[in-house]
Amino acid sequence: PQNNKSDLLSGDGTVPGYWLLNLRGGARISDYAEVRLSVSNILNVEYRDYSSRIDGPGLNVLGTLLLRY
């Protein structure tokens, strides 16, 4: 949420450093199909990009099935 008084801001309004752990992979399961999995912010770190007034999202998982014809 937009919050200028977020706990993620330092007392002087700057944003402290952070790091995220992300994982992405996939496999072709046939000539016509592929599965993909992406996991972002695995450790569910609270963060805010320096140019944003919005806190970053927590843990996010995305699965994809790609079919070709």
6-48 pLDDT per residue, tens: 666 666 667 778 899 999 999 999 999 999 999 999 999 988 8
Mean pLDDT of 57-63: 95
What's the pTM value of the predicted model, to 2 decimals?
Answer: 0.72
Q: What CA–CA distance (Å, rounded) separates 44 from 29?
A: 30
Q: What is the pLDDT of residue 47?
A: 87
Residue among 36, 45, 43 at smallest CA distance from 66: 36
